[in-house]
Amino acid sequence: MLTVLPPQTAEQTAEKTRRPTPKERRATGKALRATRPLESHAQVTRTPASPDALTLLQEQAADRLPELGPIRYGRMLASPFAFYRGAARVMASDLATAPRSGLTVQMCGDAHVSNFGLYGSPERRLVFDANDFDETLPGPFEHDVKRLVASIVIAGRGLGIGRKERRLHALAATARYREAMAEFAQARDIEVWYSRIDAVELQQQLATQLDPGPRKRLAKALEKARTRDTLQAFGKLTEVVDGRLQIRAEPPLLEPLRDLMPADSPALDDLQSAFRTLIRQYRGTLQSDRRTLLERYSFVDMARKVVGVGSVGTRCWVVLLVGRDEDDPLLLQVKEAAPSVHADYVGKSKYTNQGQRVVAGQRLMQQASDIFLGWLRTTGIDGVERDFYIRQLRDWKGSLEITDLRPDGLKTYGEVCAWCLARAHARSGDRFAISGYLGSSPAFDHALADFGEAYADINDSDHGALAAAVAAGRVAATPDV
């Protein structure tokens, strides 16, 4: 029997389709404090039953290039901060059982202070922003803030900054995040999207916090960033042998494909054809005008390159192209994209291609992204199909050395990073609800300052465990590479 439902009134239909007002969204966020208190974010949930940090790192290395593993551990051994940089998976596991706000954003996923830096925008401005998105994924906003604040505390310890002053740094960064989110909650949507911080503004903010020596080094770093482009990398990474342009060999950090494959491999005979096949897939992920630009370049050579700390062991390639002639080079970085370290804890990505996951997250969070940012899936020289994302190797890329910052400089730098993180979260999440949840009191600030110091203790212990494992011969590490 067919039941005929009464027609809905216009008021009922309008109520179902009505968007909550900013005021209502703030109230929703504020109400979350009842079940998810701000003070609860001070908790560190590592217990004796928690996964062992070294076990997690070794599990992560299972699909990486085994010959590069000792380089990764050697780099992580350098200091507790270096260990922290390489241990994103360890912290993701620790955060899995931590209290959650219930407010989701596009997480950077690895938002420590050294993953913010300088790069060139398509409009040729030198801008400052987050610049590493290998672990990006939707998840709780506070995961990113905790990663950032803990990194400030750990960096402060490395600089010999005392506990009281470290706490002030952590409080300042968290307060800047909270206040910036409140400001973004007052702004129009398009104003949030257009907000940015460029190199000049960064220099102005840091200049008063630096001694004359570090101030000069900051100015030099900004100037140097503008020279770190394809031409600079081209001069450093390539050579001409028997009249032929190629990428130079500098093993184990830079190994041309010709040295990684058997001399009689059929693949070496037709790299041009193989690369054209890859380009057809990759160029479809670019804007149409950028496809036109890419099509003007032709393949010359490629090499495997070791990059970063936590990324060591993943498959990363440098591809050399030339345009008009050999004085018109383009160097692309093709970097393996594995599932985010957070995927087991906050949910898998909606993208089946992990390279697309990285690109989509980066485009959403960054104020401006590289014009050649794209992705592909391809079968490697080992016959295994993997996902990759692609970008220019260098495009005015630069960073500030944490060791160049005196205590006040680290505080200001942490605040700048926190502002960038808040802007990224405001673009991708509900800035009204997050602002309502954080409120105007320093409760969240103090909770994260407590968390940062406690997590720094855990990180010190993990770094010591790695050092002990290396000393005992259980883990192989190659230092200073």
pLDDT tens string 326-384: 999 999 999 999 999 999 999 999 999 999 999 999 999 998 889 999 999 988 778 88
Residues 6+ apart with CB under 8 A from 100: 36, 140, 142
Q: Is 264 helix (H, G, I), strand (E, B) or coil?
A: coil
Q: Is 106 helix (H, G, I), strand (E, B) or coil?
A: strand
- Strand 298-305 to strand 254-256: parallel, antiparallel, or no bridges (unpaired)? antiparallel
Place of tokens 């960054």: 366
DSSP 374: E
Q: Using alpha carbons, select from 112, 104, 8, 90 the residue that is nearest to residue 45.
A: 90
Residues 6+ apart with CB under 8 A from 239: 245, 246, 247, 248
Q: How confident is the model at residue 401 (pLDDT cuts 50, 70, 90)?
A: confident
Q: What percent of the chain has pLDDT over 70?
A: 93
- Strand 238-241 to strand 244-247: parallel, antiparallel, or no bridges (unpaired)? antiparallel
Rounded distance between C-alpha atoms, residue 210 and residue 203, angstroms? 10
Q: What's the rounded mean pLDDT across residues 422-440?
A: 98
Token couple for 300:
């010359």
pLDDT for 6 equals 61
- Strand 298-305 to strand 137-140: parallel, antiparallel, or no bridges (unpaired)? unpaired
Cα angle vertex 157, ends 478, 43, to 5°?
A: 100
Rounded distance between C-alpha atoms, residue 398 and residue 218, angstroms? 11
Res 456 pLDDT > 80:
yes
pLDDT for 434 equals 98
Q: What's the rounded mean pLDDT across residues 386-394?
A: 92
Q: Using alpha carbons, select from 154, 41, 177, 35 the residue that is nearest to residue 97.
A: 41
Q: How confident is the model at residue 267 (pLDDT cuts 50, 70, 90)?
A: low
Q: Is 406 helix (H, G, I), strand (E, B) or coil?
A: coil
Rounded distance between C-alpha atoms, residue 9 and residue 6, angstroms? 9
Out of 31-40, 387-396, 405-414, which region has the weakest mean confidence (pLDDT)? 405-414
Rounded distance between C-alpha atoms, residue 445 and residue 443, angstroms? 5
Q: How confident is the model at residue 265 (pLDDT cuts 50, 70, 90)?
A: low
Cα angle vertex 383, ends 378, 385, to 5°?
A: 35
Rounded distance between C-alpha atoms, residue 428 and residue 21, angstroms? 17
pLDDT for 393 equals 87
Q: Give Dmax (Cα) for the chain.
A: 86
Residues 6+ apart with CB under 8 A from 390: 282, 332, 333, 334, 335, 355, 372, 373, 374, 375, 376
Rounded distance between C-alpha atoms, residue 183 and residue 438, angstroms? 13
Task: Write the single-letter amino acid at 26.
Answer: R
Report yes or no on whether pTM surpasses 0.95.
no
Rounded distance between C-alpha atoms, residue 118 and residue 112, angstroms? 15
Token couple for 433:
């609800």
Q: Using alpha carbons, select from 333, 317, 339, 346 the residue that is nearest to residue 143.
A: 346
DSSP 70: H
pLDDT for 451 equals 98
CA 90 → CA 46, 94, 133, 355, 411, distances in Å? 10, 6, 17, 22, 26
Q: How confident is the model at residue 269 (pLDDT cuts 50, 70, 90)?
A: low
245 class by beta-carbon count within 10 Å (0-12 exposed, 13-18 middle, 19+ buried): middle
Rounded distance between C-alpha atoms, residue 248 and residue 469, angstroms? 35
Q: Using alpha carbons, select from 60, 96, 91, 117 the residue that is nearest to residue 336.
A: 60
